[in-house]
Structure 1
Amino acid sequence: MVNTIANEAAVVAKKKLSAQFYKKGITIALFSGLMYGFYSAFLTLGMTKGVWSDWYGVNSAGLSAFAITYLLGALGSAVNDTCSAVWAIIYASVKGKFGDFLRCINTTPGRMMILAALIGGPISSTAYVVGLQMAGSIVIPITALCPAIGAILGRILFKQELNKRMMLGIAICVGASFMIGSTSVAGDAPKGMLLGIIIAFIAALGWGFEGCVAGYGTSMIDSEIGITIRQAIAGLSNLIILLPVLGMMAGNVNLSTNLTIQAFTSGPAMIWLAISGLCAFVSYMMWYKGNSMCGAALGMACNGTYSFWGPFCCWIVLGVFSGIEGWSLPPIAWGAAVLMIVGILVIAMNPLDLFRKKEEK
């Protein structure tokens, strides 16, 4: 009898601990979405300060339209990812995991993380920054299509489940993206907004693919090590691969080197870019940690709330505190951002499960 009571008490205690662990995971995953919003805002703010204000100014510092649109966007992504990598390496060193980071690079999961970084860094992150510069925060909910794209790619590449509920969620996300895109055809839409939204779709596609690859890699190594590999490779690949290629496309192979040196030595801008790099690192780290605590599906849905937090943080940081015009969003875009969150939640899980879990507890 005593053993039975003790066992029942142990089961109740275990369920209570599991519930607390689950709720903490949701909180952490939600925090990752908030930090991604601040990363977007501080990155954009940094790219208005110091030498960046000259490059994007009226005279454009003698830069071509191609260099201003694409090379500077890639440079902003490279500086942010490099700062993020520095923060990640510092964190790994403090935690005593820097040696593990070096050892894991040349392993199968390490190479998978390198592949994820090459997709997410030079391709998706650059497309995201270029889209932000061309169309503003309206592109953020567009990039939040990545979970929907990831679900489709997971079905194609890894034969993962894609049921009717998930297809409904994808349809909701696509509908929300069309709502956002409809604002770009309005008569007062800024020049280049439509192209910026199209480029944002490229970011969503790359991040969806990266999510499939990174999910495999981090299933075999410490997620904190995986994030350090991802951020370090993303920063390096942007600096030594993408920027020189874009410099050659702009007609001057030395242009990217000169711009990179100027960007890293521009104090007023680097203050904000260092903060954006920290926010990006924390966002990724919290995303992986939240996934491990509440499940990848729900963690992905919680992180996807950046489709709301991104425009909100940009509006607060850039519009309200910095007084920069053009960062307010039309009501349809706010509604679409919330609808996108609903779609992501439907893809990740059956929303009714949240109520069932509550009832069970």
Structure 2
Amino acid sequence: MTNSMTATQDRSLAIEKKKRLEQGFFKKGIAIALFSGIAYGLYSAFVVAAQTQGIWVDWSTALPAGGFMLVFILPTLASAINDSCSALWALAATIKQGKLPDFIATLGTKPGLIMVAAAMVGGPIGSAAYIIALSMAGTIVTPVAALCPAIGSIISRVLYKQKLGARGVTGILICMLGSGLIGVSSLTGDLGANAVPGICLALVCALAWGIEGCVAGYGTSMIDSQVGITIRQCTSGLGNLLIILPLLTVASGNSLAETYSCVAGAFTNLPSLAFFIVSGMFAYLSYMNWYRGNSMCGTALGMACNGTYAFFVPLCTWIIVGLFMGFDGYALPAIAWIAAVVMVIGVTVIAVNPLDFFRKEKAA
């Protein structure tokens, strides 16, 4: 009888310890996913800061305002440099972890090729659109780009026949309300003349990232997260430099020699390159911790936590570029902050059922 009671107590103690470990692991995953949103805000802020230094200042004063080179080519170049620096950080981590052979071997596999395809959409297309949108309209575009989980839900419904459900539809409508608030703020005169095309490019970015999230989901389920992030960042950096920049140059009628003269100048300009090295580090940390957080607390909740970058991008840019570096124009109108809050609520509703939190509390 005593032995039976002791065994029961041991089982109860083991179950309790297991539950505590799982709760700690879950909470750590949430913290890591939230850090990915903060890192994304810092990455964006340092990209903006880099374009206020050295040769970038010379270009901004010498080139005609609103010209194709200033509006499209140079922001794409900024995205290419950031992603290239981020790829170097990712490669360094991969080598340090002894996973370089895995990285090389994975490139020739079906999941690896799927990751490359997804990275081409989310990297060169999505990231370039995001950086161009930032340069045109400022950090007001960030909540619009944060629509990618909502768009990803719709794409998943079309491609994989996943049901949206009442909660998913509600979340999408909330996100659309946030977009409407941004539209209202653009009509008040608080934003510049390039606000509308900047917001449109942010929507392109959200679409690209939504597609990337859906397509890459299959690939990353069979690829080590570190290897997957390295493939993503390398693909994005090379894609911007070797595909997107030449295409934009040809479309603008400019010469490739002029564009790649700017590339050489940007990569050898130390004042701005220092900022890009830091932005690349935070870009790598953001994507790396997003995947890691997802694996610990679940993709849905990880996505919701990462979506807080809608707050952190304008906040970090205002602190770093506005307060510390002394540049004006980075404080947002109140309605923009309200729109960011609304969109984060919408993203959270799509990703997580709020009632689950109350159920967990009752169960506890």
Partners of 1:153 and 1:219 lie apart in 2 by 18
Map 1:1-361 onto structure 2 (within 5 A).
Answer: 1=4, 2-57=6-61, 59-60=62-63, 65-251=67-253, 252-361=255-364
Native 8 Å contact 1:247 1:254 kept in 2: no
SS of residue paired to 1:279: helix
Native 8 Å contact 2:144 2:206 kept in 1: yes
Given residue 278 of structure 2, which amino acid in structure 1 is its aligned partner? I
Give the alignment's Cα RMSD to 1 decimal: 1.3
Describe the shift of the 1:188–1:30 C-alpha distance in structure 2 as closer, same or farther (beyond 3 A).
closer
What's the CA shift for 1:63? 9.0
Given residue 120 of structure 2, which amino acid in structure 1 is its aligned partner? L
% identity of equivalent residues: 50
Post-superposition CA distance 1:337-358 (Å, at most 9, x none): 1111111110001112123223
Partners of 2:342 and 2:106 lie apart in 1 by 40
SS of residue paired to 1:128: helix
- The runs of 4+ residues in structure 1 deviating greater than 6 Å are none
Native 8 Å contact 1:64 1:250 kept in 2: no
Partners of 1:272 and 1:359 lie apart in 2 by 48
Partners of 2:268 and 2:235 lie apart in 1 by 22
Post-superposition CA distance 1:23-44 (Å, at most 9, x none): 0000000000000000010001
Describe the shift of the 1:313–1:63 C-alpha distance in structure 2 as closer, same or farther (beyond 3 A).
closer
Q: Which runs of 5+ in 1 are unaligned?
A: none
Describe the shift of the 1:9–1:257 C-alpha distance in structure 2 as closer, same or farther (beyond 3 A).
same
Post-superposition CA distance 1:108-131 (Å, at most 9, x none): 110111011100121110000000
Partners of 1:258 and 1:296 lie apart in 2 by 42
What's the CA shift for 1:188? 4.5
Native 8 Å contact 2:190 2:333 kept in 1: no
Residues paired across the two proteins, number: 359
Native 8 Å contact 1:154 1:160 kept in 2: yes
Given residue 304 of structure 2, which amino acid in structure 1 is its aligned partner? A
Native 8 Å contact 2:137 2:191 kept in 1: no
What's the CA shift for 1:360? 2.9
Native 8 Å contact 2:79 2:127 kept in 1: yes
SS of residue paired to 2:158: helix
What's the CA shift for 1:64? 7.9
Partners of 1:110 and 1:126 lie apart in 2 by 22
TM-score, normalization by structure 2: 0.96
Partners of 1:136 and 1:128 lie apart in 2 by 10
Native 8 Å contact 1:120 1:210 kept in 2: yes
